[in-house]
Structure 1
Amino acid sequence: MPTADTPVAGPAPGAADSEAPGPGIAGAGRPGPYPEVATPPTDAPPGDWAPVPAPHGLFRLRPVALPRDLVLIARWMNDPEVAAFWELAGPPEVTEAHVRAQTDGDGRSVPCLGLLDGRPMSYWEIYRADHDVLTPYYPARPYDVGIHLLLGGGTDRGRGLGTELLRAVTSLILAHRPCATRVLAEPDVRNVRSVAAFLRAGYRKDRELELPGKRAALMIRDRAPTPPA
């Protein structure tokens, strides 16, 4: 999931504006040996979320469709900065297996493209952290939502986009997942750019986790308390 504007890794290290998280541990966001996920009736899928204005344009999420989006995502995964963290470099079939495990799964993880003024420029995974392989490693709460992301093109990195879009997507999640009390991510602790991006986006570092293959920073954005009437 290398600057809040670059990718980080997941399943792996990424300036303050240069990181974006990849899958937290191997298989994160993929179907696993967990109970079937019940989706609250009030939850709208990411594809139904309205576009939101961001400083650099109008941003929206579009669920990934295979094979339509495979060439683009596979190209991003073969970018050296991305590959260092996501560990999905190789032929398109490598990326396809990772993404299809989600698109053909039970909905606990939704892979999306991030579009800025209609241009695909980032990849996101929005997943139920409380039903993920991450759950044995942290005190999960019901309806916890996790995110992984990467900024695809080099021109989109290093100019603050990662932080801006983290804020926007986190706000969308909290607006459309009313049962969720928080959103979390688990970048590699060595990826100081990613950690800094989450901090600037309003997350706090809760603790460090020993995950298979990496030591991660558990970053949490709590839902703001409802102001008194």
Structure 2
Amino acid sequence: MTWSVTLPDATVELTFAPVRPDEDGELVHDWMNRSHVVPWWQLGVSPAAIRAYLAGLTHLRPWLVSAHGVAFGYVETYAVPEDPLAGYYPARPDDQGFHLLVGPLSMLGTGVPRLMGRAVLAWLLNRGGRAVCEPDVRNGRMLAYCDRLGLTSLGEVDLPEKRAAVLACERAAFDTRWPGDRAAVAAGAGGST
């Protein structure tokens, strides 16, 4: 289900569309092979391998995010209890997880990626009490991004592919920091999951 939202105090409408492996695989492949993405996603592989990766996702839900009709972001959302991450920290039954990236370097620093993060968090927090991510501890840009969004540290863990900072945002803290975001996303997403 595709949904759109304009967050309070924003003028940019974001659209979240489910990724279609065959149609969107080339774009995702391009982004996954960019120098600012490869170290963190480790998916600098062929277009066929990216399409297979996207088609093989089970508990991860992939999204393309657009602003002004142009795709710029890739997001994966998931229920943490269905993911191996749940075994590495004190996960709650309703924890909701995410991974995200911004493809075009030209979008960094525009403020639009922060709007994407706010919308992702609002969408997840409408489904659970806490949103969680686990960036590589060496990814300073992502750690700063998460800090600006209001996520706080639950500690560091050794995952099979990286040393990760487990970061979380509680619903009450999010609502205080970004009032109205969850309501705007609920209206834009039509209350669907």
Which whole-Å CA distance do the structure 1 matches of 2:2 and 2:113 have between them? 22
The equivalent position to 2:82 in structure 1, one of 113, 126, 131, is 131
- Point out where structure 2 has 5 or more consecutive residues left out of the alignment: 177-193
Which whole-Å CA distance do the structure 1 matches of 2:112 and 2:105 have between them? 11
Give the alignment's TM-score, normalised by structure 1.
Answer: 0.70
Paired residue for 1:216? 164
Change (3 A) 1:49 1:224: farther
**Could you tell me which amino acid in structure 2 is paired with residue 184 of structure 1?**
V
- Establish whether residue 96 from structure 1 lines up as the match of residue 51 from structure 2: yes
Change (3 A) 1:69 1:148: same
Change (3 A) 1:154 1:148: same
The offset of 1:163, in angstroms, is: 2.5
What SS class does the counterpart of residue 90 from structure 2 fall into? coil
Paired residue for 1:73? 28
Preserved contact between residue 209 and residue 218 of structure 1 (Cα < 8 Å): yes
- Establish whether residue 194 from structure 1 lines up as the match of residue 149 from structure 2: no
Which whole-Å CA distance do the structure 2 matches of 1:85 and 1:172 have between them? 24
- Establish whether residue 115 from structure 1 lines up as the match of residue 66 from structure 2: yes
* Deviation digits for residues 55-113 of structure 1 (CA, Å, limit 9, x no counterpart): 461002100012111111111111121112111112102212221111xx3xx221000
Q: Is the deviation greater in 218-227 or in 133-142?
A: 218-227
Indicate the percent of aligned positions where both proteins have the same amino acid: 34
Paired residue for 1:207? 155
Which whole-Å CA distance do the structure 2 matches of 1:121 and 1:88 have between them? 17
Which whole-Å CA distance do the structure 2 matches of 1:219 and 1:134 have between them? 12
Which whole-Å CA distance do the structure 1 matches of 2:114 and 2:141 have between them? 10
Structure number with greater CO (CA < 8 Å, separation at least 6) is: 1
Preserved contact between residue 183 and residue 221 of structure 1 (Cα < 8 Å): yes
Preserved contact between residue 128 and residue 146 of structure 1 (Cα < 8 Å): yes
Paired residue for 1:39? none
Which aligned runs of 4 or more in structure 1 are off by greater than 2 angstroms? 47-56, 158-164
* Deviation digits for residues 192-216 of structure 1 (CA, Å, limit 9, x no counterpart): 1111110110111121111112111
- Establish whether residue 147 from structure 1 lines up as the match of residue 98 from structure 2: yes
Which whole-Å CA distance do the structure 1 matches of 2:35 and 2:77 have between them? 23
Preserved contact between residue 135 and residue 143 of structure 2 (Cα < 8 Å): yes
**Could you tell me which amino acid in structure 2 is paired with residue 69 of structure 1?**
D
Give the alignment's TM-score, normalised by structure 2.
Answer: 0.83
RMSD: 2.0
- Point out where structure 1 has 5 or more consecutive residues left out of the alignment: 1-46
**Could you tell me which amino acid in structure 1 is paired with residue 39 of structure 2?**
A
Paired residue for 1:159? 110
Preserved contact between residue 2 and residue 18 of structure 2 (Cα < 8 Å): no
Greater helix share, structure number: 2
**Could you tell me which amino acid in structure 2 is paired with residue 183 of structure 1?**
A
Pairs within 5 Å for 1:20-59: 47-53=1-7, 55=10, 57-59=12-14
